[in-house]
Structure 1
Amino acid sequence: MRALKVEAPWGVDAIEVVEAPDPRPGPGEVLVRMRAVSLNYRDMLMVAGMYGRMPAGANVITPFSDGCGIIEAVGEGVTRVQPGDRVATLFFQRWISGPPTLEKLSSSLGSPIPGAGRELAVFSQDGVSKVPDFLTDQQVSTLPCAALTAWRALFVDGHLEPGDSVVLQGTGGVSVFGLQFAHAAGYRTLITSSSDEKLARAKALGADHLVNYRQTPEWSGPVREATGGVGADLIIEVGGGGTMEQSIRAIRIGGHIAIVGVVAGLGSGFNPAILISNSAKLQGLSVGSRDMFEAMCRAIELHRIQPVVDKVFPWTEVKAAFAAMQGGEHFGKIVLEF
């Protein structure tokens, strides 16, 4: 089989397609023939050698956490799936249910566990899940990280009610999934982007309010205006230090800011006294459990939600796919196809 490999000194230019032995599943394991993988911002950090959870001394990785494939063989004792089943890889291979723990969060694909960027891959039967039949392989590959992150922020941690207001930052994978889920749940949605074209696409997906943050850098003002001066109930914060100040100004008293990324950079610090004065909650989150994933898939099937795949590349053209991500060209997700 062929596989992607990245090793020190890291970087997109260090990605190679290499020959490797065909793996075989052991007890409790499954062999998956990969059909598609999707890119996350985390993958770009990992390939660059900047991912915080890489094991000490790690000098080679098989990248990508998010994939779709077909079960080709199973090992002894496997009961969850059978050959021929179509599955998604789970971001955390050992987070089945309950709250996160260090052990669960130390089982992510790509690092420390070899990822889905290979033609054939062996995973624990607990680390894959069957997926809705109506989705394409490309769409399924977008679910494990971006979709589940948005799902957890809204429905597990957010405790929202229909009619509540949600702010989505930008039009990357997490934000577009957040928009689709929030619209299906009856929330008021406001989305930001630097592109009027992307904002028009977001409106077609159900966005109620649109803000071009290049034209209106102080976008907390339109959020306050759209909510009658109250502020948003929940903000999915993907920018990091580059957007946090506006999020804090835009959140309502007692509201919830879900920190899921730092794509706008670390930026400067903020005054925590602002949070004290308005009782807002600032919570970091990292994807979710298998139970959350399967609940999300039930909702996707019920509402026939179509994940937005914006760009597709052959998996061997991974460098071009990363260039598209770095250029911010995409709306929704970028996918590699086997």
Structure 2
Amino acid sequence: MRSYRLDSGAGLGGLRLDVSELPVPGPGEVLVEVRAASLSYREAMILEGRYVLPVRDGGIPLAEGVGVVSATGPDVAGPPVGARVVVAAFPRWQDGPFSLDVIDQIGGSLDGMLAEHVVLPAAALVEIPDDDLTDAEAATLPVAGLTAWNALTGGRGIRPGDTVLTLGTGGVSLFAVQLATAMGARVIATTGNEARVGLLRELGADVVLNYRDTPDWPGAVRAATGGRGADLVVEVAGNLESSLAAVALGGEIAVVGFVGGRPPASLDPYAVFTAGATLRPVAVGSRAQLAALVAAVSTHRIRPVLGRVFPFDDAPAAFRHYLGGTAIGKVVITLEPTHDNGGK
């Protein structure tokens, strides 16, 4: 069986191909033949050695992926052999609030999805219909899609008449535009690239603001909402001061991350107090939330936005493309069925 291994903080030089015996599932586990795996911003942080959670050196990377159950261990009630599945990034986080007790994560402290076969806990899997999404599309749900879903539904949620503000055109932000639109929200999206305005409108954004042309984009958000501001902000950039200036009184800022790098500690407590909003950190999501996302994607016929798809043999090129910062849509690595008996 072939897999890629990665050493945290070693850059792309730490990514290497490995050949090993086919793993055998134990009690409560299943063997999954991987069909596709997807990159997310956490991979960039792991490569640079700045990911906030533990990462095991020499582990298999990528938390996002989809595959087909090919064998089961003892005491497995489901999913059955032949089922197409995605896995929750935090396998032991079944439902409820996140805690340090369930901090072990796929593609970090646990082996990830960039392999021909992986052994996974059956309880962490969610079946995904074969006729809704391609494998490449389905592979994008467990991190980017689930993070957006948690940002939109895990706190105050979306209420009738709400305005949702999304920032940029990364994977989480594009999912947030699609999901918020499907849930009936009015969506305001920002971008610094005029060429991406059309995509955001196609996905459902009602208003698109170019923050390079409109430096006071929080003021523009308020103008577009009659002075109220956005009820829910999906904050991925780490620019909390601007998001606080754009959020409505009593609204929520779902703090997903800081793709622009870790910002200086300059947050003004006065700005937090006067905004009257809740700041809620988002750590991907639970298995229950992943199941809800899969159902919502199926119900609303949402198609994830794909950038480029690479074959398994070209995984290093996929990483280079993603790290180049020009990708629009998810970067996915696909695998062909192997029928592996351990000797490949």
Give the AA of the match of 2:184. G
Give the AA of the match of 2:23. P
Q: How much is the aligned-residue C-alpha RMSD, in angstroms?
A: 1.4
Aligned mates of 1:48, 1:278 — CA distance in 2: 34
Whether the 8 Å CA contact 1:162–1:185 is kept in 2: the answer is: no
Could you tell me which residue of structure 2 aligns to residue 297 of structure 1? 294
Aligned mates of 2:9, 2:236 — CA distance in 1: 28
Q: Which moved more, 1:194-203 or 1:310-319?
A: 310-319
Normalised by the length of structure 2, the TM-score is 0.93
- Map residues 203-242 of structure 1 onto 2, 5 A cutoff: 203-240=201-238
| Among candidates 176, 181, 184, match of residue 183 of structure 1 | 181
Give the AA of the match of 2:257. G
Aligned mates of 2:223, 2:317 — CA distance in 1: 41
Could you tell me which residue of structure 2 aligns to residue 78 of structure 1? 76
Q: What count of residue pairs does the alignment treat as equivalent?
A: 333
Deviation at 1:306, TM superposition (A): 0.9
| Among candidates 241, 245, 267, match of residue 241 of structure 2 | 245
Deviation at 1:9, TM superposition (A): 5.7
Whether the 8 Å CA contact 1:139–1:307 is kept in 2: the answer is: yes
Whether the 8 Å CA contact 1:47–1:63 is kept in 2: the answer is: no
Could you tell me which residue of structure 2 aligns to residue 33 of structure 1? 33
Identity among equivalent pairs (%): 39
Give the AA of the match of 1:64. L
Relative to structure 1, the CA distance from residue 211 to residue 8 in structure 2 (aligned partners, 3 Å threshold; closer, same or farther) is closer
Could you tell me which residue of structure 1 aligns to residue 192 of structure 2? 194
Could you tell me which residue of structure 2 aligns to residue 153 of structure 1? 151
Aligned mates of 1:97, 1:265 — CA distance in 2: 30
Residues 141-164 of structure 1 deviation map (CA, whole Å, 9 limit, x = unaligned):
000011111111111213221221
Deviation at 1:303, TM superposition (A): 0.9
Matched, 1:282 2:279: yes
Matched, 1:257 2:234: no
Relative to structure 1, the CA distance from residue 203 to residue 283 in structure 2 (aligned partners, 3 Å threshold; closer, same or farther) is same
Could you tell me which residue of structure 2 aligns to residue 164 of structure 1? 162
Deviation at 1:84, TM superposition (A): 0.7
Gaps of 5+ in 1: none
Whether the 8 Å CA contact 1:153–1:258 is kept in 2: the answer is: yes
Whether the 8 Å CA contact 2:9–2:50 is kept in 1: the answer is: no
SS at match of 2:154: helix
Could you tell me which residue of structure 2 aligns to residue 43 of structure 1? 43
Runs of 4+ off more than 4 Å: none
Whether the 8 Å CA contact 2:59–2:108 is kept in 1: the answer is: yes
Deviation at 1:49, TM superposition (A): 2.2
Could you tell me which residue of structure 2 aligns to residue 315 of structure 1? 312
Aligned mates of 2:307, 2:222 — CA distance in 1: 31
